[in-house]
């Protein structure tokens, strides 16, 4: 059994070279995950895949059952998670279709089930979350990107917003002042729940659009989708190299 899972976001519902062996619906104390867990192989290496927004991309960011998703993967023996997430680019270096792996998060979400330690606990637990992403997985992701000859920014601050609406221009200026370099809607509580379950977790961010106010005109779903086609092609290359490598 593999120990690695990929959580695919908008634009990544499958991997081309993934030969699916079976799908499994997993029950958790928190309900059902977004979709059945897909088991397969990429170049003979086993891999597990979960579509964050469900099959057919029908679950909006604020309604994703993050607790069930992470719990299901942990239950299957997964130890490492590569979370692919589409984001809006706030800084110049993060133009549409570029990739980055952030080092930090600022959480602006609210009203989501964000912890396993909220009820039925025997003692109050505070996880360390100083460095929200696994540094060793970040390194491996960056190495795979290098091997794939795909450029990936090796840093960034992910601002997690509530959605499903996009931000106002002024909200993006506030995020920028806070130090955010990219904005997305699914990064939290996913990363924190992974840490609570002691899963190694990394974010592979794909820029879908300039964040609100950073370009002329409105942000359309059509533009987002076409930028993602390009960006996700690069992600697939990186993931295939990463999965193929024995270092993970
Ligand atoms: N804002 C929030 N989430 C996003 C964006 C954005 O501009 N683009 C893709 N996910």
The number of domains in the chain is 1
110: CATH: 3.40.50.1580
For residue 176 and ligand 1, the question of a CB distance below 6 A is answered with no
pLDDT, residue 239, reads: 93
Decide: residue 200, CB within 10 A, 0-12 exposed, 13-18 middle, 19+ buried: buried
Closest Cα to residue 196, out of 107, 109, 128, 101? Answer: 128
Decide: residue 48, CB within 10 A, 0-12 exposed, 13-18 middle, 19+ buried: buried
For residue 180 and ligand 1, the question of a CB distance below 6 A is answered with no
Cα gap 26→223, rounded to integer Å = 35
Could you identify the residue written with the tokens 């396993």?
116
- For residue 175, pLDDT beyond 80: yes
Extended beta strands in the chain, E state: 4-8, 18-24, 37-42, 45-51, 80-89, 99-100, 104-107, 152-153, 157-160, 182-184, 200-210
- For residue 247, pLDDT beyond 80: no
Written as six digits, the tokens of 198 are 């002691």
- For residue 221, pLDDT beyond 60: yes
pLDDT, residue 190, reads: 98
Q: How many CB atoms lie within 10 A of CB 45?
A: 16
Closest Cα to residue 214, out of 170, 179, 177? Answer: 170
Could you identify the residue written with the tokens 């719990």?
71
CA 187 to chain centre: 6
- Condensed to tens digits (0 to 9), the pLDDT of residues 154-166 reads 999 999 999 999 9
- For residue 219, pLDDT beyond 70: yes
pLDDT, residue 71, reads: 98
Of 16-20, 69-73, 126-130, 201-205, which range is least confident?
16-20
Q: Give distance in angstroms: CA of 44 to centre of ligand 1.
A: 34
Greater model confidence, 2 or 225: 225
pLDDT, residue 118, reads: 85
Q: Give distance in angstroms: CA of 243 to centre of ligand 1.
A: 27
For residue 101 and ligand 1, the question of a CB distance below 6 A is answered with no
Q: Give distance in angstroms: CA of 212 to centre of ligand 1.
A: 9
Torsion of CA 144, 147, 149, 155, to 10 degrees: 40
Which residue range(s) make up the domain with 47? 4-117+125-244
């Amino acid at each position: 059994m593999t120990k690695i899972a990929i959580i695919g976001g908008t634009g990544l519902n499958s991997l081309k070279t993934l030969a699916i062996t079976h799908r499994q619906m997993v029950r958790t104390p928190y309900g059902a995950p977004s979709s059945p867990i897909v088991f397969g192989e990429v170049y003979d290496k086993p891999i597990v895949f979960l579509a964050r927004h469900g099959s057919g991309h029908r679950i909006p960011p604020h309604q994703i059952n993050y607790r069930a998703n992470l719990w299901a993967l942990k239950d299957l023996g997964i130890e490492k998670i590569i979370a692919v997430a589409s984001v809006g680019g706030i800084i110049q270096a993060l133009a549409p279709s570029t990739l980055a792996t952030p080092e930090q998060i600022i959480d602006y979400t609210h009203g989501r089930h964000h912890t396993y330690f909220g009820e039925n606990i025997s003692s109050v637990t505070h996880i360390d979350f100083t460095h929200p992403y696994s540094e060793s997985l970040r390194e491996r992701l960056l190495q795979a990107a290098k091997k794939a000859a795909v450029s990936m920014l090796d840093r960034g601050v992910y601002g997690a917003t509530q959605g499903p609406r996009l931000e106002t221009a002024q909200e993006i200026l506030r995020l920028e002042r806070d130090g955010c370099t990219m904005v997305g809607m699914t990064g939290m509580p996913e990363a924190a729940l992974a840490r609570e379950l002691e899963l190694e977790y990394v974010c592979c961010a794909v820029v879908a659009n300039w964040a609100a106010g950073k370009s002329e005109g409105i942000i359309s779903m059509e533009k987002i989708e076409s930028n993602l086609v390009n960006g996700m092609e690069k992600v697939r290359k990186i993931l295939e190299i990463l999965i193929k490598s024995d270092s993970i």
